[in-house]
Amino acid sequence: MSNIAQFRIKILTKLNDPNGDRFSDDQLDSALRDALQEYDTMRPYALVGDILANGERDLPVTTITDDITLIFRAIWHDGSQEGDNLAFYATKQDDIWHLELNKDVPSGDTIALHYTRPHTIEDLDSATETTVWDEDLLSIGAAGFALLARSVLLAEENNLNTGTSKRLEDSGNKKLSIFRAQFSEKSGSGFATWS
């Protein structure tokens, strides 16, 4: 999987700026963050982590250190082969997720939590791994966001040549259309998971 330096090369290639003459690393990183944020909503990064019940119906989730964005399933492993799906209500209070369980679970029993967290790119914002599967697609989205940002910058700096700004805006929107089309119902979307 690619790190931030490799992503920058992919994005610059899609921008027809292989030497980075028109786009700085900061601009590319900002555009990649925008694309990554949109990617997270369309293809969430799902994981499973075990927590131990505390014997109470209010269960703080303190042993999973990921930046959880959503908890969507809880399975109580009560010794049975399959486990038991738990109904719960999840809330975040003072930066700690809490589960309000629908039944008592004995202290020390394992509950497998299925949750999502943001995708990361290695070396972008101190991330240590890349979790994105669709690297070329994400690069197209980042190129689209970079072009839109540049079009605004040029329009503000030089309002005498609005045609250039408009062409950049159109090109950026085309790239974003390609990026977003991959997540339509026809293309399928869903959770990106790692085991």
Residues for the chain: how many in total?
195
Q: Which two tokens stand for residue 170?
A: 């159109």
CB 95 within 8 A of CB 133: no
In 3D space, the residue among 128, 125, 174 whose CA is nearest the CA of residue 147 turns out to be 174
User: How large is the angle between the packed helices 25-42 and 162-181, nearest 10 degrees?
Assistant: 40
Instruction: Round the CA-based radius of gyration of the chain to a whole number and report it.
Output: 21
Confidence of residue 79 (pLDDT cuts 50, 70, 90): low
Give the neighbor-by-neighbor strand order of the sheet with 88-93: 58-61, 96-101, 88-93
Confidence of residue 189 (pLDDT cuts 50, 70, 90): very low
- pLDDT tens digit string along 89-121? 999 999 999 999 999 999 999 999 999 999 999
Q: Who wins on pLDDT, 155 or 10? A: 10
- pLDDT tens digit string along 15-47? 999 999 999 999 999 999 999 999 999 899 999
Beta-bridge partners for 95: none
Q: Which two tokens stand for residue 166?
A: 């408009």
